[in-house]
Each structure stands twice: as structure tokens, then as C-alpha cells.
Amino acid sequence: ILIRCTDLRFSIDKVGLEQGSKIGNGTLEVIDQDADEESEPPPPKGNVTLTMLVRGKRPISHLVAAISDIDGVCEVGRIDHGTEFE
């Protein structure tokens, strides 16, 4: 997503990330892992909300369309610049 923003010549001023609801029951299972093998468990599955403050000369609709086409992106929205960004 960040690469797509910069490819379209938008600068990213701020980024926020918030973990949403988990998919399924939220439990993690490690399958086919040897007891002696030290590895980190996979990250929990679920949705996250990525909030960005971007600036650019092109219409924001170009960026919204490009991000919407990325696999795994569920929804893309826009908030007017008058809204506070934490």
C-alpha cells in the first residue's frame, strides 16, 4: 500500500495502524512443527485498519482506486482534511 502511494507520487505524512476483529476464534495453531525447532508462531489472523495522511497533486480518487485493486484490501475510504489525525 505504501509503495503504491509513492508510485502514484503521493507523499505520506502520517500513518496509523489499528488491529480490528479477529477471523475465526482468534486462536493460533502451529502445525507440523518439531518440538526442538525454535521459531516464532505466525501472527494472528484478522483485519487491520490502516489510516494515512497523504498529500499529492493528483486527485485522491486515483489513489483510492489503486489501493482498492490490491489483494487483501477489504475497503478503502476517504476522510476530509478537516478531520483530526491522531
| Distance between CA atoms of residues 69 and 82, nearest Å | 27
pLDDT tens, the chain, 86 aa long: 999 999 999 999 999 888 864 443 443 344 444 445 566 666 667 788 888 999 999 999 999 999 999 998 988 988 776 666 55
For residues 72 and 2, the answer to whether their CB atoms sit within 8 Å is no
Task: HSE, CB side, 13 Å, CA atoms: give it for residue 66.
Answer: 16
Residue 7 DSSP label: H
- The pLDDT value recorded for residue 12 is 92
* Residue of 65, 50, 60, 56 lying closest to 80 (CA atoms): 60
* Res 39: pLDDT: 63
- Eight-state DSSP code of residue 18: E
pTM here is 0.61
